[in-house]
Each structure stands twice: as structure tokens, then as C-alpha cells.
Amino acid sequence: MQPYLVGLRLNGRRVLVVGGGRVASRRVPALLAAGAEVVLVAPETTPALDDLVSDGKIVWHRRPYETGDCHGAWLVQACSDSSKINTAVADEAEAAGIWCVRADDAEASAAWTPASGQVGEITVGVLAGGDPRRAAGIRDAVVDGLRDATLESRHSRHKPVGVALVGGGPGDPGLITVKGRQLLAQADVVVTDRLAPRVLLDELAADVEIIDAAKIPYGRSVTQDRINEYLVEHARAGKFVVRLKGGDPFVFGRGAEEVLYCARHGVPVTVVPGITSAISVPSAVGIPVTHRGVAQEFHVVSCHVAPGDPRSTVDWEALGRSHGTLVLLMAVERMALIAEALMRYGRASDTPVAVIQDGTLPDQRALMATLGTVVEDMTADGVRPPAIVVVGDVVQVAREINMIRADMGRDP
């Protein structure tokens, strides 16, 4: 006979667990997550179960099973290491009309626990004819498919509405969040940026409208106005719009302007954070932005205007004086003025500097220099945006890591 799969809603309902060993330790957290009132009967427990008892999450009767323990339970888990006890528990449950799962004997068990997984509001349960490894493998495949959205339908009844501002990460398509990827797979319209992980757009269905924000005509500020209007227009037309941005939407990404515009126009907005290039691009070449004994702070600076420019609000004097790591975005074209200002305000000319272009992408390249040589080295190397400049002794840490790796015969 095939098993009949149901979803038990255990909230506030008693579940008896007999046995306090490894199996009970695995089952009890899932029962608690479903809201069950767990009563444990066992002479001994594992430390993990003991913690749950101390926290008041489960009730523990510290003794062997006794006839009558099943009374009042909706479900029984017979997990003791004695087959004799499990048989007694199962017999009592059967006589009382209570479902009992036996951990020791699948054939003798009235109910089976499926391999289960949770992705958002979706619960997956798999039974594979009594083969738990096979069931777990299939469960993993389905959960993975839901997480990366390859199984999620754009036409699901629970389709999101409005606009989702999704941080796409630094460029490597593997560095978008699970939630971001799920929302992208459900989009009707995607408004994308130049630095967003564009390879993900190839996976979208043919009828998804893709608007390249970088190609929207007119000047810079007009473009932002037009992007705002696109988001609202499409959302109001009943489309689910994903605004896919590079890095994190709130790090020099004008994300909050888009949120404000949508909010003012009554369009619901979800913000999905992304991995910012400010941390992930240095990390892609082994540079930690902080390191014990080397840097206790790091400053992320937008260099879209140069030091000394009346539009600049950056305190270059303070940055020159500080010992923290500097992570400079949009700095390539203004690097001469930046290096000069930092040295004028106190940074030594031999301060290590790294410049990373196209970080995390297949064309990634990195240049190691010092504050005194970086401009010349960047010109000689033909560095182009997008690039991140890291200033500080943390660059040396990456050098050290790479040297050790090279010594070990591995590619740095």
C-alpha cells in the first residue's frame, strides 16, 4: 500500500517522544518548529535535549516508558533504543487510535516521517518507499530548485506584487541572495543596471520584459527620474517589477530614492539586501577589510567627485589621518587627486594599495601598488572602471596569504 501523505498542524497539540537519544534529538526540534507541545519520556537525554528542557521548551519525565503515557497525545514518536519498548509504545498507540512513528522498524511503523525541508512558506516532504537516504537526496534536489528558483513558477497564486529592489551582488551570479534570485524568477519586468549580474537575465522566460536602465536616454538625473517612473508605471499596470542593482541597493546605489518614490506613489516595495562590492571585491583577491592588529575600522568612500571639488562632502583630511582601511569606489578617473590628498594629509607614500577591476567576474584583475606609485601603475596597466581601490596595510595580509599559498604549490 502507498503511504498517504498529510501535513500535520501540530500547533498546541501534544506529541509524546519516547527515548532521549540521537533520533529524538533530531526529531524534537522539527516538532517544536511546528508548535507541538513535546513530552519526552526517557531515563537519559542528550545534552541538546537537556538544553531544551532547561529552556522550558519541552517537558521531560525522567523515567522509563509506562503504559498510559500515550494518553492525550496526537502523535507518538517511539525512538528508544529498545525494540521491546518501541513495540509496547506502538501497541498502546495503535489501541488508542494514535499515529505512532517507530524509529527502529519501518515495516512495523504505522506512520513514517518524510525527509522534509522548508523554503519560505513551502514545505517539502518526501517518502521513498522506506529508503531514507534516497528520500533525503530527492528532498535536497527539490529544496535546491526552490531556493535558486528553478522550480518556482512565475504564475504561482502567491506571486509577489509591486516592486522588489534586489541587490545583485558584485557580479558573480552565485553571489546574489537566495531571496533575490527567487524574486527575480517571478518578475514580469526587470529593470537592470550595468553592474547587476546580467548573466542571470538569460535564465528568464522569453516574455519577461527586460529594461536596461543604463540605456534609458537623457542625462543622469533625468535617467533616475525615468527609472522611478518606469517602476511605478509597470507596478501600477499589475506587473511584478524587479529592480536589479549591482552590490547592495543602499550602498551608493540610489536605492532609497527609488523606495521613496514608490512609497509616495502607493506602490509596495520590498528591499532585498545584496553583497556589496565594497567588501566582496577586496575579499575576492584575499584582502580582508579589517584584520586584528592591522585595521580596526574601514571607510567606504564614494569618489564620484574629487577631493577639493565643492560638491564633495568627504573629509579627506580625516581619512588621511586615520589608520583605517579605505575602500574607494568610483575612484579610477580621480586617483591622482585622491592619492595626492591622502599623502598630503598624513598617509605615507609607501602605504600598500590594491586596485581590483571587474571583481568576482571572469575578467577580474588586480594590481598591487603603493600610494606613491598607484597612479602610474594604473595608467601602465590600463585599469578601467568598475574598479575598487583599497588603501591600507590589510593589502599586505592578502600578499602574505597569497605567498603562503604559492609556497604550498597552489594557485594564489
Q: Are 353 and 391 in contact (CB under 8 A)?
A: yes
Q: What is the CA radius of gyration of the chain?
A: 29
Examine the residue annotation and report whether 193 is marked as an active-site residue of this protein. Answer: yes
Closer residue to ligand SAM, CB minimum distance, 281 or 394 = 281
Q: Which is nearer to ligand SAM, 26 or 198 (CB)?
A: 198
Closer residue to ligand SAM (CB): 99 or 250? 250
Task: Look at strands 59-61 and 37-41 and give their pairing.
Answer: parallel
Residue 64: phi and psi, rounded to 5, are -70, 165
CB 366, min distance to ligand SAM, A? 10
Phi/psi of residue 319, nearest 5 degrees:
-65, -35
Instruction: Say if CB 327 and CB 298 are below 8 A apart.
Output: yes
* C-alpha to C-alpha distance for 281 and 291, rounded to whole angstroms: 16
Take residue 297 and report the three cell numbers written for it.
575600522
Catalytic residue among 193, 245, 248, 358, which? 193
Give the nearer residue to ligand SAM in terms of CB position, either 183 or 329: 329
Sheet holding 387-391, edge to edge: 298-302, 325-329, 387-391, 352-357, 365-370
The contacts of residue 343 (CB under 8 Å, 6+ apart) are 320, 349, 371, 372
**Coil, strand or helix at 402:** helix
Q: Measured between alpha carbons, how far is 339 from 332 in angstroms, rounded to an integer?
A: 11
Q: How far is the CB of 224 from ligand SAM (least distance, A)?
A: 12
- Report the interface residues with ligand SAM, using CB under 6 A: 170-171, 195, 246-248, 251-253, 276-278, 281, 329-330, 356, 358-361, 385-388
For residue 275, the minimal CB distance to ligand SAM (Å) is 8
Least distance to ligand SAM, CB of residue 408, Å: 27
Instruction: Please state the closest distance from residue 327 (CB atom) to ligand SAM, in A.
Output: 9
Q: Residue 87 corresponds to which amino acid?
A: T
| Catalytic residue (choose from 84, 215, 407, 411) | 215
Nearer to ligand SAM, 117 or 282 (CB): 282
Q: How far is the CB of 251 from ligand SAM (least distance, A)?
A: 4
Alpha helices for 56-131 (secondary structure H) = 83-96
Q: Considering beta carbons, is residue 194 or 323 the nearer one to ligand SAM?
A: 194
Q: Is 245 a catalytic residue?
A: no
Find cell 501497541 and name the residue: 91
Any idea which residues carry the catalytic annotation? Answer: 193, 215
